[in-house]
């Protein structure tokens, strides 16, 4: 559906000691209908990259192309055009939804950004969206605080899907969830990829979770991408030493922990 191509992107952050380079010359590509996983540890710049793509933080240099057209987010009109193509789901289920709006209002608002819908049509769409993300349509009347973390994250997902974007960016969507809830959300995401043919950028620090839903994985560190490979290849034969460190650090019930090895110290 939608192809994302990022070329040589640099993003700066205002820090206490002047500008900090959060994203440093990153290039990546998400081919149509596939999922690119982006893993990195805290401070690697992965969230800044996501926010830059959807126009929430300004781009310093470099280009972001969607389906071959450069994106801009300067005016509201730019932003509306962009919003039709890309949507984002962010990390925190606690603030992801407006606490004063019911699920129906939240989803209804998103569904009517680009389409005029009368009341019955809107309610029907809300029901569809809730079913799409595996929620009981009867939850539509609830407020966010009456939902569990996993349910809130699903509603946020439904809101992003309401405008039928070609590309979905998921930034640490499962990191605040319990393991059993995370499993269900990951399954939903896989299911959505298949059914909607979405292109997706799935960002996280949890390597197993990211790998579970991604066709290819990019490893990010200190604002740069150190390795990109198809998921199987990355897991079988990681090339970059940092990728290997990261893989070795993942706790697993099925493989014994690696012997202590001289590790890279964080700077």
User: Residues 142 to 201: which contact another protein by CB under 8 A?
Assistant: 148-149, 156, 159-160, 163, 178-184, 186-187, 190-191
Q: 125 vs 159, which CB is nearer to another protein?
A: 159
| 263 makes contact with another protein (CB under 8 A) | yes
Residue of 4, 132, 192, 207 that binds another protein (CB under 8 A) = 207
| Minimum gap (Å) between residue 214 Cβ and another protein | 9
- CB-CB contact of 89 with 25 (8 Å): no
CA atoms within 13 A of residue 250's CA, in its CB half-sphere: 20
Q: 15 vs 58, which CB is nearer to another protein?
A: 58
How far is residue 262 CA from its own chain's centroid?
33
| Minimum gap (Å) between residue 169 Cβ and another protein | 9
Size of the site for another protein (CB under 8 A): 75
Per-residue contact string for residues 226-245; x = within reach of another protein by CB under 8 A: -----x---x---------x
Distances from the Cα of 44 to the Cα of 22, 112, 149, 223, 224, angstroms: 7, 36, 26, 5, 8
Residue of 18, 68, 120, 251 that binds another protein (CB under 8 A) = 251
Which positions ≥6 away from 176 have C-beta within 8 Å? 91, 92, 93, 94, 149, 153
| Minimum gap (Å) between residue 186 Cβ and another protein | 6
SS3 state at 251: coil
Q: 119 vs 194, which CB is nearer to another protein?
A: 194
In 10 A of CB 39, how many CB atoms? 25
Q: What is the largest CA-CA distance in the chain?
A: 64
Residue of 29, 92, 128, 164 that binds another protein (CB under 8 A) = 92
Residue of 2, 87, 193, 199 that binds another protein (CB under 8 A) = 87
Closest CA to 99 of 52, 155, 50, 181: 155
Q: 129 vs 181, which CB is nearer to another protein?
A: 181
| Minimum gap (Å) between residue 121 Cβ and another protein | 18
Q: Which two tokens stand for residue 7?
A: 């070329």
């Amino acid at each position: 559906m939608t192809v994302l191509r990022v070329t040589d992107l640099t993003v700066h952050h205002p820090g206490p000691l002047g500008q900090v380079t959060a994203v440093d010359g990153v290039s990546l590509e998400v081919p149509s209908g596939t999922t690119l996983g982006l893993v990195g540890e805290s401070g690697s710049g992965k969230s800044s990259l996501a926010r830059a793509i959807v126009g929430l933080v300004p781009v310093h240099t470099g280009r972001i192309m969607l389906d071959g057209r450069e994106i801009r987010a300067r005016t509201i009109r730019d932003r509306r055009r962009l919003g039709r193509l890309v949507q984002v789901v962010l990390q925190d289920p606690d603030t992801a939804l407006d606490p004063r709006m019911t699920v129906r209002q939240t989803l209804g608002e998103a569904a009517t950004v680009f389409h005029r819908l009368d009341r019955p049509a809107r309610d029907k769409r809300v029901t569809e969206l809730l079913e799409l993300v595996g929620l009981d349509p009867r939850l539509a009347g609830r407020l966010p605080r009456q939902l569990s973390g996993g349910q809130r994250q699903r509603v946020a997902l439904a809101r992003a899907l309401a405008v039928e974007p070609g590309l979905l960016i998921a930034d640490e969507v499962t990191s605040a969830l319990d393991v059993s809830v995370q499993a269900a959300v990951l399954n939903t995401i896989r299911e959505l990829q298949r059914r909607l043919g979405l292109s997706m950028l799935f960002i996280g620090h949890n390597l197993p979770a990211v790998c579970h839903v991604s066709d290819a994985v990019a490893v990010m560190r200190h604002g740069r991408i150190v390795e990109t490979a198809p998921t199987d290849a990355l897991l079988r034969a990681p090339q970059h030493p940092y990728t290997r460190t990261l893989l070795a650090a993942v706790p697993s019930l099925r493989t014994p922990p690696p012997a202590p090895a001289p590790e890279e110290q964080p700077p």
